Structure 1
Amino acid sequence: MRTVIFDLDGTLADTSGDLLAAANHCFRQMGHGDVLVHDDDAAVALRGGRMMLTHGLKRVGAYHENTVHAYYPTLLEAYAQDIDTHTQFYPGALEAVEMLKSQGYGVGICTNKPEALADQLLTQMGVRGQFASLVGADTLPVRKPDPEPLREAARRAGGHPDLCVLIGDSDTDRNTARAAGVPSVLVTFGPSGDDMAALEPEALLHHFDDLPELVTGLIGAAA
């Protein structure tokens, strides 16, 4: 089976609002107030919790690696308690997933979000059952850009790891697909969308309506 594997944050859904809120919860505990703002820091949010803590602490001149390490569990706890207040799927994302499935592709997720949080988010938003696999940052001993999480997501979705395509939004996704020897499609509608062309993926995705045709062109029609 051919499979289409999606990144989650910044690819299927804009999770930046809830991620930034969790980071600012930490900064308030430190006494810095709300350090990160959506208009300036959405792209940072989609790079993960440690990146948000690092970015915010450097902004206020208080960065230390030990502080990031100490507050990361606090951030995860705050995020788990308020994970879907602002999160929205990008227009056409879920419709594209269902179209791909109807055409015979296996569909899964490979994310650098901790697996339990990814599962919680998808479950609370009522869409966990739409994805045949979910591989998170801690599912395996390695995480993206190591290619093994992508390969495992393809296998768990019922597919052959050499016959998949990764849909993502970052250099991490581009490098993961390259390491696995499979094509990548990078979305241009996220906060870092203008930077995607420079990463030279096999295709750029401007709207999810175009995804099924792009997939067929890259890995062929599903059996």
Structure 2
Amino acid sequence: MTDIRKATGDCVVFDLDGTLVDTSADLLAAANACFSAMGQGSPLTSADSLTAFHGGRAMLRLGFSRIGELVDEPGIDRWYPELLRHYREAIAVHSRPYPGTVEAISALHDLGYITTVCTNKPAALAEALLRELGIRDLFAALVGADTLPTRKPDVAPYRLAVESAGGRMARSVLIGDTETDLLTGRAAGVPVALVTFGPEGEGIARLQPEALLARYEDLPDLATRLLARS
């Protein structure tokens, strides 16, 4: 089966933040570092993890609203590089792969699957995070938000992530945690499994993906079932 899967290009594509790794605490810390530099303390808390996974600008908008300041988008853009600097300097203080991630991906490799990453995190930060966590070698390729002129849910980054890894679009499945991932899968015409341990929890079921993933232990069987429909 291993040789057959490699020959057919069976590929599992992963989102990063909220899917492979819980990065919310380090993201929120980077945003709070910006507000601390303004003398505004730390307006964001662990309860804001869902906002963290919507990106740096979303965290800045929320933080400014918390401190009662109206800041336009150019103002947000001015602070965004500072947030990225803070994040880059402490990218894996609290971030950890979700339980069972490494074991599940190793099991996929044993079955002959190719694994790759397609994320809306800037590519250099995604590379740095995976290397800091010691798991970059688990993935044959990585496509980030700035690898191409477009990002998810556009299909181009997904296609590049699959093809750069040696996979085939028609024999791929996407594992993610947000509506953006679902829309990416729809654009690519591939099945999508959304994790229920990510920022939205079991509420993600409202999107009605092809499958839900409650624990990484179930991923090898789930991927096999989804690709059997292809």
Question: Normalized against structure 2, the TM-score is what?
Answer: 0.93
Q: 2:217 aligns to what? A: 209
Unaligned regions of 5+ residues in structure 2, if any? Answer: 1-8
Residues 80-124 of structure 1: CA deviation (Å, up to 9, x unaligned)? 000000001111011111111111111000000000000001111
1:57 matched to 2:33? The reply is: no
Residues 38-69 of structure 1: CA deviation (Å, up to 9, x unaligned)? 1x101111111111111211222223212210
Q: 1:129 aligns to what? A: 137
Q: Secondary structure of the residue that 1:55 maps to in structure 2?
A: helix
Q: Secondary structure of the residue that 1:99 maps to in structure 2?
A: helix
Q: Secondary structure of the residue that 1:162 maps to in structure 2?
A: helix
Q: Mapping of 1:144-223 within 5 angstroms?
A: 144-220=152-228
Residues 114-150 of structure 1: CA deviation (Å, up to 9, x unaligned)? 0000000111111111110100000011000111111
Distance 1:119 1:219 in 2: 28
1:152–1:161 contact (8 Å) kept in structure 2: no
1:183 maps to amino acid: P
Q: Mapping of 1:39-118 within 5 angstroms?
A: 40-62=47-69, 63-118=71-126
Question: Normalized against structure 1, the TM-score is what?
Answer: 0.96
Distance 1:53 1:162 in 2: 39
How many equivalent residue pairs? 220
Q: 1:3 aligns to what? A: 11
2:92 maps to amino acid: D
Distance 1:98 1:67 in 2: 44
Residue identity over aligned pairs, in percent, reads: 53
2:206 maps to amino acid: A
Distance 1:164 1:203 in 2: 14
Distance 2:106 2:209 in 1: 24
Taking only aligned residues, the RMSD between alpha carbons, in angstroms, comes to 1.2
Unaligned regions of 5+ residues in structure 1, if any? Answer: none
